[in-house]
Each structure stands twice: as structure tokens, then as C-alpha cells.
Amino acid sequence: MTLKFLNYGDWVGKTEIADFEKANPGIKIKQYALPEGGSSALAAQLAKDKGAYDLVAVGNATAARLEAGKLLADFDPASVPNLENIPEEYLEQFPWGIPTDLGKVGIIYDKEKVANPPASWQELFDDAEQWSGKIVLPDYDLDVQAIALLALGYDINTTDEGELAEAEEKVKDLKPDLLAFQGDGRAKSVIDGSALIAVGYDYEFAGAEDDSIGWVSPSEGTPGYIEGVAVLPGSEHVEEALAFLDSRLEPETYAGLINNTGSSYLMPAAEEFIDESILTNPALQQNPDSPFVAEQFLSAEDTEIRAKMWNRIKAS
């Protein structure tokens, strides 16, 4: 039989699938590309092709949206014993299957020209004039809203209208000092000198492999997302799918995923098998002084409120 796995561009360890198939004769795993267009496109595909796939790689916010649409199978953590290798904080934030890695938003800066980079989101906003015209933010609503809310001391997943209004004004006040809201290439903008400060993802910094840039995990926390894998409803191979998920959380197998993808890891028990370059990278390593905070899917109504808020920010 064949497990059909909707996944991000071969987001597995180099030998992980071959090793699993060798250890489990009779089970094959075939990967399929996730649809372009984000969570809406994925939800539409899963609703249309119910039972066509067994597993899906998915971020925590999208997983919550799929669960609301009854597009994920019920999950019993006891069915995957190796979940004990994952810290409880990540299990609580990704209860739909196995959490695998995460993406964190932090500050990338020019080490030569920025002698005193902001140590917090509050400092980034308060001291923006120092780097006026040389600051890049993501062109993504939740990330920008999250850093403004953290700078104000609020929950990034708040639905309080007053707190959201304050965050909106804080971003608007920063706009005169921005170079751009930029969709990608933020680390490259710092490297080529067009920006001095960029708010970007940990994998951007790590992938740049350039000694001219530095990374700050702000003291209020690093917002972002947790990636994981969930079983899909209608699968005829649930037992085999759960066995594959359990195998992925063997420490050495898990380290293969991290070493191949260069993503931020969740499993301390795998550290002895993870490449030194990842363990020592300031963006990818665990930082107890900057708590990770997951951006959540709230509701359709709250998503619309956030979208309108973003539109006003961009238009201001």
C-alpha cells in the first residue's frame, strides 16, 4: 500500500522515506506538492478530494482552519508514543498531529553599520529614526501586527478592538521610517546595503550564511508558526500513517529532517544528531530569553478584521 503525503517540496530527511520503507516492507510513501495559494487553496483541495490523501504538512494556523471545516482527522496523541520527545509547549500549540519545526520572526541587522541593534520590538519602534529609510518589514499582515502588539505588551492573538487599534497606529507611525514592506529577500536587502534593519524569518538569516549580518531575538518574544503533519479524514491507512509519524519523531530521524531543511528544531533529544552549524546559529537555536509565540487562526470574523486593519496600514 502507498501513503499519499501532501508536503512542502520534499520537506523530509534525505534518507527518511527510504529508511522507513526498508523498515516497513509493503508500505510506500509518495509525496505530492501542496497547492499554491495558501490555506484557502489547501482547504478547497481537501474538501474536493476527500479521502485522496493520507497525510498533510500544515502550519498551526491553517490546521486550526482545516479543523473548523472538519478537514482533519481526529488525533489521539497516545497513538504516537514518540511525541514524548517533543516539549509540552509545542504539543499544546499543535494538537492535530506531530509538530515538526517552527518559523520565528526576529530582527536581521547590518553588524558593521548598526552598532547597537534593537534588543526588543519596543526599541525597534521607539528608535526607528536612527535607521530611517533603511528599515524593511515583511509584507505579511499577521507578522507586522504581531510585532506591534508585542511592542505594546499585548497578546499577539488578541481580539480586543482597542489593542488592535493601538497596534495599527504604532505601525502607521513607523511607516515614514520604512524602506518597504517586502515580500521576500529581506536578508539580502541588509547584505546589499539597501537596508540596515529587516524584520524577517530565522530561516532567511540562516540561509544567507553571511557574516556581515546579525540576528536579534527580541526580548518580548519571537512570533511565528509551528509546522507539523496531520492525518486526513477518509484515509484507509490510518495505522500505517501513524506509524510513519511516530518514526519521524525518533531523535536521529528527526535530526535528518532538520539537517536537510535547515529549519528551527523543536526536539532537544535530537541535538546530538543535529549539525553544529544549526545548533550554534543564533536564529535557529533555542533562546530561553525570547519566548516563541505562535500566531493563531482565530475566526473568520477576526481574520476579516485583521485584513481590513492591514489594508488601512498599507493605504496610510
Verify that 150 and 206 share a domain, yes or no: yes
pLDDT value at residue 102: 92
pLDDT value at residue 36: 78
First to last CA, the chain: 55
Give the amino acid at 210.
D
Verify that 125 and 158 share a domain, yes or no: yes
Verify that 204 and 304 share a domain, yes or no: yes
Verify that 14 and 107 share a domain, yes or no: no
Q: Please check whether residue 284 lies inside any domain of the structure.
A: no
Beta strand pairing call for 292-294 and 135-138: unpaired
pTM score, two decimals? 0.84
The torsion angles phi and psi of 47, rounded to 5 degrees, stand at -65, -35
Verify that 89 and 110 share a domain, yes or no: no
Q: Averaged over 82-102, what is the pLDDT?
A: 95
Q: Please check whether residue 285 lies inside any domain of the structure.
A: no
Verify that 111 and 121 share a domain, yes or no: yes
pLDDT value at residue 286: 74
CA distances from 117 to 91, 121, 127 (A): 33, 11, 10
151 band by pLDDT with thresholds 50, 70 and 90: very high
Statement: residue 303 has pLDDT above 90: no
Cα distance between residue 214 and residue 108, in whole Å:
6
Q: Please check whether residue 61 lies inside any domain of the structure.
A: yes
Q: What is the 3-state secondary structure (H, E, C) of the chain?
A: CEEEEEECCCCCCCCHHHHHHHHCCCCEEEEEECCCCHHHHHHHHHHHCCCCCCEEEEEHHHHHHHHHCCCCCCCCHHHCHHHHHCCHHHHHHCCCEEEEEEEEEEEEEECCCCCCCCCCHHHHHHCHHHHCCCEEEECCHHHHHHHHHHHCCCCCCCCCHHHHHHHHHHHHHHHHHEEEEECCCHHHHHHCCCCCEEEEEHHHHHHHCCCCEEEECCCCCEEEEEEEEEECCCCCCHHHHHHHHHHHCCHHHHHHHHHHHCCEECCHHHHHHCCHHHHCCCCCCCCCCCCEEECCCCCHHHHHHHHHHHHHHHHC
214 band by pLDDT with thresholds 50, 70 and 90: very high
| CATH at residue 200 | 3.40.190.10
Verify that 67 and 155 share a domain, yes or no: no
Burial class of residue 35 in the structure, from the number of CB atoms within 10 Å of its CB (0-12 exposed, 13-18 middle, 19+ buried): middle
**Cβ within 8 Å of residue 301, ≥6 positions away:** none
172 band by pLDDT with thresholds 50, 70 and 90: very high
Verify that 126 and 19 share a domain, yes or no: no
pLDDT value at residue 130: 96
Statement: residue 305 has pLDDT above 90: yes
Domain count for the chain, please give it.
Answer: 2
Q: Please check whether residue 214 lies inside any domain of the structure.
A: yes
Verify that 93 and 108 share a domain, yes or no: no
pLDDT value at residue 299: 85
Domain span including residue 149:
103-223+290-315
Give the amino acid at 10.
D
pLDDT value at residue 9: 83
Maximum CA pair distance of the chain? Answer: 63
Verify that 21 and 168 share a domain, yes or no: no
